[in-house]
């Protein structure tokens, strides 16, 4: 009989601990029924776990005051941009202060943080590390270029990050540098310092950040971000990455350029105006970024070299 009873209201809409339900009078047979999911050891949920944020939320009943969701898990809760390989991690990352034991479980990965770095805030009902501390824990699994993408997002005030739940901008470039300087010998501190040194406000998408990071890592001079290009009092365009002295623009062409006819036509007109005014345009797609040949780097080097030769004084 007990196996067929409905769940009390407090267990219908949120994950709950098995032992709390047993103490509240539900039988073990009722808690084994297939209308309940088992996302973590000792946790039951009526709602299925559909994504990683659900998996994080399902761990909340097991969390102690010294637990905070961290790493890629916290980044997904905050809506920070991550590389595709981390779009759906298999385990929730949970941080504890260095003098505490981290939790265990098949779908949990614990880590210890120094006391000065550990803190927690609640986002959509989930206790997580604050954004900067989350970024610091990402250094355990992300490259410098990938850390730069997240750092740019923390500095942005743009609306092109629809999932982002942090205040915009969350930090200034100086605050980011000060934060990484204080990390000293923490795990990944050197990579975080490099990323912080390259991070800039004004980047409007994760792919622009990745492209800019690739250019800096390849040794190119730092471009102007989203700079307006004006000729004879008329604004021709706003370039993604602008090498103004060389009259070269690097443009990232995302999928929206193909899916929107209006955007496609606008882009063609803008490129024509720039080229008619003597500007060189290097267009880069995600396929270019992922290709091992990296032909866009050679194209940019060639355009900058041509501009340099053109500016050189004549010795004739």
User: How confident is the model at residue 311, as a pLDDT?
Assistant: 54
Lowest mean pLDDT among 56-60, 156-160, 206-210, 277-281: 156-160
User: How confident is the model at residue 260, as a pLDDT?
Assistant: 57
User: How confident is the model at residue 231, as a pLDDT?
Assistant: 86
Mean pLDDT confidence for 192-207:
93
The DSSP annotation for 22-72 comes to HHTT--HHHHTSTTSB--STTEEBSS---SHHHHHHHHGGG--TT-EE-HH
Reported confidence tier of residue 254, pLDDT bands at 50, 70, 90: confident
**Which letter does DSSP use for residue 255 in this model?**
T
Residue 268 contacts by C-beta under 8 Å, 6 or more apart in sequence?
none
Whether the bond into 253 is cis, omega within 30 of 0 = no
Residue 45 contacts by C-beta under 8 Å, 6 or more apart in sequence?
14, 15, 16, 36, 37, 38, 39, 58
Mean pLDDT confidence for 292-313:
83
Mean pLDDT confidence for 234-261:
83
User: How confident is the model at residue 2, as a pLDDT?
Assistant: 46
User: How confident is the model at residue 314, as a pLDDT?
Assistant: 36
pLDDT at 108 over 60: yes
> Which residue spans within 98-134 are E strands per DSSP?
108-113, 121-123, 126-128
For residue 109 the two structure tokens come to 């990965």
Percent of the chain with pLDDT strictly greater than 90: 72
Report the distance separating Cα 45 and Cα 54, nearest Å: 10
User: How confident is the model at residue 257, as a pLDDT?
Assistant: 52
pLDDT tens digit string along 212-225?
Answer: 999 999 999 999 99
User: How confident is the model at residue 159, as a pLDDT?
Assistant: 78
Reported confidence tier of residue 263, pLDDT bands at 50, 70, 90: low
Reported confidence tier of residue 178, pLDDT bands at 50, 70, 90: very high
User: How confident is the model at residue 1, as a pLDDT?
Assistant: 42
The residues with which 237 forms a beta bridge, in sequence order, are: 229
The DSSP annotation for 56-69 comes to HHHHGGG--TT-EE
pLDDT tens digit string along 87-101?
Answer: 999 999 999 999 999
Percent of the chain with pLDDT strictly greater than 70: 92
| Domains within the chain, CATH numbers bracketed | 2-48 (no CATH), 53-203 (no CATH), 218-311 (3.40.960)
**Which letter does DSSP use for residue 280 in this model?**
E
């Amino acid at each position: 009989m007990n196996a067929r009873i409905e769940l009390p209201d407090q267990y219908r809409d949120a994950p709950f601990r098995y032992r709390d339900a047993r103490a509240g009078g539900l039988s073990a047979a009722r808690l084994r029924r297939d209308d309940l999911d088992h996302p973590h050891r000792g946790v039951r949920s009526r709602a299925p776990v559909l994504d990683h944020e659900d998996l994080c939320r399902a761990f909340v009943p097991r969390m102690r005051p010294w637990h905070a969701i961290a790493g890629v898990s916290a980044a997904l809760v905050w809506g920070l941009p991550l590389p595709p390989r981390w779009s759906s991690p298999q385990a929730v990352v949970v941080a504890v202060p260095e003098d505490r034991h981290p939790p265990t479980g098949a779908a949990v990965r614990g880590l210890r943080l120094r006391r000065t770095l550990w803190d927690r805030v609640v986002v959509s009902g989930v206790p997580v590390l604050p954004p900067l501390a989350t970024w610091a824990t990402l250094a355990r699994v992300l490259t410098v270029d990938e850390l730069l993408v997240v750092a740019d997002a923390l500095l942005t005030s743009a609306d092109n990050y629809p999932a982002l739940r942090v205040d915009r901008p969350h930090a200034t470039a100086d605050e980011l540098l000060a934060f990484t300087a204080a990390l000293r010998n923490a795990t990944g501190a050197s990579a975080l310092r490099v990323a912080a040194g390259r991070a800039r406000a004004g980047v409007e998408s994760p792919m622009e950040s990745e492209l800019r990071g690739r250019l800096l890592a390849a040794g190119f001079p730092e471009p102007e971000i989203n700079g307006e290009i004006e000729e004879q009092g008329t604004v021709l365009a706003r370039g993604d990455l602008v090498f103004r002295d060389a009259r070269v623009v690097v443009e990232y062409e995302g999928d929206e350029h193909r899916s929107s006819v209006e955007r496609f036509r606008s882009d063609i007109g803008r490129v024509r105006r720039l080229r008619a005014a003597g500007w060189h345009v290097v267009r880069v797609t995600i396929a270019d970024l992922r290709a091992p040949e990296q032909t866009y780097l050679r194209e940019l080097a060639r355009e900058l070299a041509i501009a340099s030769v053109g500016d050189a004084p004549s010795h004739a």
